[in-house]
Amino acid sequence: MNQQSAPSHPQQTAVDHETLVANDTVLGLRGELRTLQEKALPASQAELAIAEERISELQEEVLVLRDELAAERYGRQQELDNIFASKSWRVGSAVLAPLTRLRGRRR
């Protein structure tokens, strides 16, 4: 700023002072913002990395659970196939078939 040696009006001096204070405040706030941004960025990146790792872990867990469920379903289906293929099931079905037909006609 170019300072003049001539005396200035008191109002002008007050305005100049307020301008300098406002500029100083703006510079201070910009510096504080920069500092906060520098601190926040690594923290948010670290949180993001933790969240992404947790997502990967959960996705792997889902795959394992799907495999376990498929194996369980396959095992249950094998049990049912064995039951339906058994001699006792076939005999029981043959014996109960007439009764089942009678029940169906009553409805």
CA distance 30 to 38: 12
Asked if residue 96 lies in contact with residue 102, where contact means CB atoms within 8 angstroms, the answer is no
Residue 106 vs residue 52, higher pLDDT: 52
How do residues 39-85 score in pLDDT, each as one tens digit?
A: 877 878 888 899 999 999 999 999 999 999 999 999 999 999 999 99
Fill in the DSSP letter of residue 86: S
Fill in the DSSP letter of residue 106: H
How do residues 3-51 score in pLDDT, each as one tens digit?
A: 554 456 777 888 888 899 988 998 898 988 888 888 877 878 888 899 9
Instruction: Domain ranges for the chain, please list them.
Output: 11-106
CA distance 59 to 106: 53
24: its two tokens: 């100083």
**For 6, phi and psi rounded to 5 degrees?**
-75, 145
Helix and strand tally (H, E) in the chain?
Answer: 2, 0
